[in-house]
């Protein structure tokens, strides 16, 4: 069984955490350590990264250009900011650079505004209760410190985010709007209210939490949630990172037999182990074998690379033998090991669930949850997918240690549909797309679930 582990919203998780802390801008790695970190990351990426064709970057010349920039950094904070910028050029959601924990000298900093991306517009979707009359929900951030919000994001945020897809790139930019700052920095925002009025709002981090207009963290996270809505079984699967979810799902199967339809909600599922998701799908089909993604990884064959050097000098124009092509591809770093297509024996002996199936997806459906959808795609006609396109990143990250007690990760595995179609860099596109809009989010209206229930009623007439 091949396993695919998700770096859940890697750029956001690794970067945004720094925004809640007072930053140590005194500590400074040695120049030797800085260059070693840059060189190690460059070298491991050169040998192992699976998506250079997506990045469209000359990695060697970029590395050389970054050497003087790295040397010029004044402290470890600047160094790791620049390393994130270097990494972001790879445009991959499973590749990233961490920040040393020791740079975060105080971790009790709280963000007092919640901003989300809607078509590259930054909309306030929650605010502390004490500011609800000052900043109406649905207000758009139109400028930050005098700079138009979109331009601010393109200059101050986007260059530091490694993302496989455009939609996740901008979602992450909204989440880390005040990235790389501590509680002492003041932001001068201009907001346009839903009524069109432009208002000022000065923002900074705080040392204590607050109560929000919309959400106050009172609902505990659960790996699975289940309820029956008008005879339709609704199952929210929030992770495939724990095999316990398979047991939890199995426990509700008898109740699902009695449902006239089933909705599986993967919108907040950041992934985990592909095999865990496959176990759940086995209950929805009699197909003896479930087929998942095809995958490949770069194969570094040193002797073939050496032979390929000499082959590259051959200007005769003669057709290459298979051996010569292997040598030349190895020299170019473009020789691949073709892995087995993921396959899972359907060994579930219990009665299968034959009711109509709808699967809900969103921008946060990532990694192994996307692998789930690739398997589902092979079960032609078994389910309808609804919602927004997925995260668009999966793979097998290679962890590497870097100076300063931190690490990096490099995506080494390239996944596609079994027929070779790409979904990394695109996202899995649902059968029925339902865009998010601010008014529904603010009102707490689950438009996607409502549409799914309506669609299910059509299927079960």
Three-state secondary structure readout of 81-115: HHHHHHHHCCCCCCCEECCCHHHEEECCCECCCEE
pLDDT at 184: 53
Question: Which of 383, 300, 380, 294 lies closest to 341 in space, CA to CA?
Answer: 294
Is residue 105 pLDDT above 90, yes or no?
no
In this predicted model, which residue has the larger pLDDT, 10 or 410?
A: 410
With H, G, I as helix, E, B as strand and everything else as coil, classify residue 194: coil
pLDDT at 138: 97
Whether the Cβ atoms of residue 59 and residue 46 lie closer than 8 Å to each other: yes
Is residue 6 pLDDT above 80, yes or no?
no
In this predicted model, which residue has the larger pLDDT, 220 or 440?
A: 440
Task: Please report where in the chains the tokens 């007439």 appear, as a residue.
Answer: 461
The pLDDT tens digits for 303-339 are 999 999 999 999 999 999 999 999 999 999 999 999 9
Q: Cα separation of 457 and 454, whole Å?
A: 5
Q: Cα separation of 289 and 92, whole Å?
A: 31
Whether the Cβ atoms of residue 115 and residue 187 lie closer than 8 Å to each other: no
Is residue 108 pLDDT above 70, yes or no?
no
CA dihedral angle for residue 12, residue 409, residue 36, residue 91, rounded to 10 degrees: -60
Distances from the Cα of 14 to the Cαs of 60, 81, 162, in angstroms?
26, 12, 11
pLDDT at 220: 85
Q: What is the mean pLDDT of residues 147-174?
A: 96
Neighbours of 58 (CB within 10 A): 12
The pLDDT tens digits for 225-270 are 999 999 999 999 999 999 999 999 999 999 999 999 999 999 999 9
Is residue 81 pLDDT above 70, yes or no?
yes
Strands (E), 18-70: 22-23
Residues 6+ apart with CB under 8 A from 339: 2, 294, 295, 296, 297, 413
pLDDT at 179: 66
Question: Which of 423, 390, 395, 422 lies closest to 409 in space, CA to CA?
Answer: 395
Which tokens sit at 80? 């790791």
Is residue 8 pLDDT above 50, yes or no?
no
Averaged pLDDT of the chain: 91
Least confident range of 151-155, 206-210, 287-291: 206-210
- Residue 17 CB-density burial (10 A; 0-12 exposed, 13-18 middle, 19+ buried): middle
In this predicted model, which residue has the larger pLDDT, 206 or 196?
A: 196
| pLDDT tier, 111 (very low <50, low <70, confident <90, very high otherwise) | confident
Q: Cα separation of 197 and 80, whole Å?
A: 40
Is residue 448 pLDDT above 50, yes or no?
yes
Question: Which of 164, 172, 240, 182 lies closest to 5 in space, CA to CA?
Answer: 240
Q: Cα separation of 411 and 49, whole Å?
A: 6
pLDDT at 204: 80
Q: Is the dihedral of CA 417, 422, 425, 427 positive or negative?
A: negative
Is residue 22 pLDDT above 90, yes or no?
no
Is residue 21 pLDDT above 60, yes or no?
no
Q: What is the mean pLDDT of residues 423-428?
A: 97
Task: Please report where in the chains the tokens 């109509």 appear, as a residue.
Answer: 356
Is residue 166 pLDDT above 80, yes or no?
yes
The pLDDT tens digits for 354-394 are 999 999 999 999 999 999 999 999 999 999 999 999 999 99
Q: Cα separation of 47 and 57, whole Å?
A: 15
pLDDT at 182: 53
Distances from the Cα of 26 to the Cαs of 42, 79, 80, 230, in angstroms?
26, 12, 13, 60
The β-bridge partners of 110 are 206
Percentage, residues of the chain above pLDDT 70:
91
Is residue 13 pLDDT above 90, yes or no?
no
pLDDT at 283: 98
Three-state secondary structure readout of 379-435: CCCCEEEEECCCCCCCCCEEEEEECCCEEEEEECCEEECCCCCCCCCCCCCCCEECC
Is residue 107 pLDDT above 70, yes or no?
no
């Amino acid at each position: 069984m091949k396993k695919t582990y998700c770096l859940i919203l890697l750029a956001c998780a690794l970067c945004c955490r720094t925004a809640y802390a007072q930053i140590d801008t005194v500590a400074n790695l040695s120049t030797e350590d800085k260059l070693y970190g840059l060189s190690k990351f460059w070298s491991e990426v050169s040998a192992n990264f699976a998506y250079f064709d997506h990045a469209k970057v000359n990695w060697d010349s970029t590395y050389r250009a970054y050497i003087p920039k790295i040397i010029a950094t004044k402290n470890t904070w600047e160094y790791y900011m620049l390393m994130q910028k270097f990494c972001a050029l790879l445009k991959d959601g499973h590749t990233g650079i961490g920040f040393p924990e020791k740079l975060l000298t105080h971790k009790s900093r709280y963000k007092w505004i919640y901003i989300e991306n809607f078509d590259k517009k930054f909309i306030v979707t929650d605010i502390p209760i004490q500011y609800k009359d000052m900043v109406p929900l649905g207000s758009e951030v139109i400028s930050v410190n005098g700079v138009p919000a979109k331009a601010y994001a393109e200059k101050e945020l986007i260059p530091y985010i490694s993302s496989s897809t455009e939609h996740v790139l901008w979602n992450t930019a909204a989440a880390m709007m005040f990235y790389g700052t501590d509680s002492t920095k003041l932001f001068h925002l201009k907001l346009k209210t839903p009524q069109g009025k432009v208002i000022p709002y000065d923002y900074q981090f705080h040392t204590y939490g607050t109560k929000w207009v919309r959400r106050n963290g009172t609902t505990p996270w659960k790996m699975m949630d289940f309820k029956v809505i008008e005879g339709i079984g609704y199952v929210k699967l929030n992770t495939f990172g724990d095999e316990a979810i398979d047991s939890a799902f199995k426990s509700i199967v008898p109740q699902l037999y009695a449902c006239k339809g089933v909705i599986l909600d993967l919108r907040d599922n950041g992934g985990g182990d592909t095999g865990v998701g496959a176990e759940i799908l086995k209950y929805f089909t009699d197909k003896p074998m479930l087929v998942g993604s095809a995958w490949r990884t770069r194969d570094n064959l040193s002797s073939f690379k050496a032979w390929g050097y000499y082959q590259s000098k051959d200007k005769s124009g003669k057709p290459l033998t298979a051996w010569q092509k292997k040598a030349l591809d190895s020299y170019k770093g473009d020789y691949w090991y073709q892995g087995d297509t993921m396959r899972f024996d359907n060994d579930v002996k219990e009665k299968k669930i034959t009711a109509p199936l709808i699967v809900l997806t969103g921008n946060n459906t990532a990694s192994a949850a996307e692998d789930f959808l690739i398997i589902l795609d092979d079960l032609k006609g078994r389910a309808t997918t609804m919602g927004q396109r997925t995260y668009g990143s999966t793979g097998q990250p290679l962890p590497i240690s870097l100076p300063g007690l931190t690490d990096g990760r490099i995506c080494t595995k390239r996944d596609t549909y079994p027929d070779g179609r790409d979904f990394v860099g695109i996202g899995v596109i649902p059968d029925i797309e339902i865009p998010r809009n601010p008014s529904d989010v603010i009102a707490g209206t689950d438009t996607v679930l409502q549409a799914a229930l309506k669609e299910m009623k059509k299927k079960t007439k």
